[in-house]
Amino acid sequence: MISVGEARELVLALAPAPTAETVPLQHAAGRALLEPAIARLTQPPFDSAAMDGYALRSADVDVPLKIVGESAAGHPWHGEAAPGTAIRIFTGAPVPAGFDRVVMQEHVTRDGDVLTVMDAAGGPHIRARGGDFAEGDVVLRPGRRINAADIGLLAAMNVAHISVARRPDVAVLASGDELVRPGQTLREGQIVSSNDLAIAAQVAEAGGMPRILPIARDTEDSLRERFAEAAGADLIVTIGGASVGDHDLVGKVAFELGMQRSFYRIAMRPGKPLMAGRIGDSAMIGLPGNPVSAMVCAILFMQPLIRRMQGLDASEKLLRARLACDLPPEGNRQHYLRAVLEDGRDLPLIRPFGEQDSARLTLMSRADALLVRPADDPARKAEEIVQFVPLPR
């Protein structure tokens, strides 16, 4: 058995360099940026009014002013900003050179074309040209997942298409004679295949394109057929059949098909029988069949690999919390306990469920976090600081 940290390094080493594709901006949310995003214009492109009101010279606020024009968004005024004059101006409109202040209309009185400033405090209510970004600025760097604000920013930069990492094609293969698809009537001994759907959702969450294969039966022929269908995927994720039982055939069949195994078995709970390696041109991860073990291993190994394949940060994000209760000493495997988070004084409080069966999806669904307990961790007292992996909410 190898440690979680060693296994993680070996899994991440399976990632090929990301390949680029160009997508229109409206399809770029959630994608991994592969090139620096460089501004093609300056924003704002001109000094612009931040309020509806009047543009004038600060030196003139104490005298009555003659209103000589109007500047609206999309309709600039082209006159001279002469002393003793002001113009009507609206939010977003260019402020002509020479006027250095916009006074809100609530703070003036107007009589015909004569303007009197009643309250000169505040302001200047002008957004300076280039205040947000300037042409040529590198505004976003590669290696980030594009969020909604980034989309707005890229659009404002006049970027219409952007180079992102191709989404890894991930074949998801459940195996087991007991498994049927959701929505069917179960015969004796059958259960619904939940893992492949949950794992596919985790693939998508990490930016991959899941491809759920038909369920393999517990025969070597059936598994071979499915591996043939999976060929060409960037990553093949099998679920189940990884342990030592007579019907656990995934490792055997993969080996016969030429799998170069990086490791099998990790000193962790749940998920001991995890395997990973390369098969043909694909990376492969063999997840254990117990539903919670499969999901926990996917969080710790599969999702980081899919992120790395897109050039994204794949490092482990551990946060700190205080224990809400005492805990007994740990065994010789690193333990990831399903837990809920509660409000605490300085740090959140973390409360692991009393029951940690790796088949209980209800607990996985309710969990906010995986509390990490290192192998051979001694007993812990409530209030001690521990680390956890946050789960998506």
Ligand X SMILES: Nc1nc2c(c(=O)[nH]1)N[C@H]1C(S)=C(S)[C@@H](COP(=O)(O)OP(=O)(O)OC[C@H]3O[C@@H](n4cnc5c(N)ncnc54)[C@H](O)[C@@H]3O)O[C@H]1N2
Residues touching ligand MOO, count (CB under 6 A): 8
DSSP character at residue 325: S
Contact flag: residue 269 with ligand MOO (CB under 6 A): yes
Contact flag: residue 127 with ligand MOO (CB under 6 A): no
State the Cα–Cα distance between residues 60 and 143, nearest whole angstrom.
Answer: 51
Residue 43 or 293 having the CB closest to ligand MOO: 293
As a residue count, the chain comes to 393
> CB of residue 294 vs ligand MOO: minimum separation in angstroms?
8
Residue 290 or 310 having the CB closest to ligand MOO: 290
Are the C-beta atoms of residues 166 and 18 closer than 8 Å to each other? yes
State the Cα–Cα distance between residues 32 and 18, nearest whole angstrom.
Answer: 10
Which of 101, 272, 307, 351 contacts ligand MOO by CB under 6 A? 272
Residue 169: name its binding partner from ligand MOO, ligand X, none (Cβ under 5 to 8 Å by kind): none
Residue 130's region, left for phi above 0, alpha for psi from -120 to 50, else beta, is left
Residue 96 or 288 having the CB closest to ligand X: 288
What tokens were used for 19? 């390949």
CB-based closest residue to ligand X: 289
Beta strand pairing call for 179-180 and 169-174:
unpaired
Are the C-beta atoms of residues 169 and 315 closer than 8 Å to each other? no
Query: Would you tell me which residues interact with ligand X (CB under 6 A)?
Result: 174, 176, 178-179, 191, 193-196, 239-245, 248, 270, 272-273, 288-291, 293, 358
> CB of residue 335 vs ligand MOO: minimum separation in angstroms?
10
**Alpha helices for the chain (secondary structure H):** 4-12, 148-156, 195-205, 220-230, 250-256, 291-297, 303-309, 361-366
Please choose, out of 79-87, 187-195, 263-271, 340-348, the segment that lies near ligand MOO by the rule CB under 6 A.
263-271
Residue 238: name its binding partner from ligand MOO, ligand X, none (Cβ under 5 to 8 Å by kind): none
> CB of residue 290 vs ligand MOO: minimum separation in angstroms?
4
Contact flag: residue 291 with ligand MOO (CB under 6 A): no
For 74, phi and psi rounded to 5 degrees? Answer: 85, -5
Which of 96, 208, 240, 270 contacts ligand MOO by CB under 6 A? 270
Contact flag: residue 290 with ligand MOO (CB under 6 A): yes
Residue 241: name its binding partner from ligand MOO, ligand X, none (Cβ under 5 to 8 Å by kind): ligand X
Residue 272 or 307 having the CB closest to ligand MOO: 272
Contact flag: residue 358 with ligand MOO (CB under 6 A): yes
Contact flag: residue 351 with ligand MOO (CB under 6 A): no
State the Cα–Cα distance between residues 192 and 183, nearest whole angstrom.
Answer: 9
Contacts of 188 (CB under 8 A, 6+ apart): none
Contact flag: residue 238 with ligand MOO (CB under 6 A): no
Contact flag: residue 335 with ligand MOO (CB under 6 A): no
Contacts of 18 (CB under 8 A, 6+ apart): 32, 34, 165, 166, 309, 310, 311
Residue 251 or 311 having the CB closest to ligand MOO: 251
Contact flag: residue 334 with ligand MOO (CB under 6 A): no
DSSP string, 82-109: -TTEEEEE-TTPBPPTT--EEEEGGGEE
Q: Which amino acid is at 205?
A: E
> CB of residue 289 vs ligand X: minimum separation in angstroms?
2
Residue 289 or 304 having the CB closest to ligand X: 289
Please choose, out of 21-29, 141-149, 190-198, 269-277, the segment that lies near ligand MOO by the rule CB under 6 A.
269-277
Residue 18 or 270 having the CB closest to ligand MOO: 270
- CA separation (Å) from 302 to 36, 101, 185, 212, 274? 27, 56, 32, 15, 11
Residue 250's region, left for phi above 0, alpha for psi from -120 to 50, else beta, is alpha
Residue 139 or 302 having the CB closest to ligand MOO: 302
Residue 39 or 296 having the CB closest to ligand MOO: 296
State the Cα–Cα distance between residues 7 and 263, nearest whole angstrom.
Answer: 7
Binding site for ligand MOO (CB under 6 A): 269-272, 288, 290, 293, 358
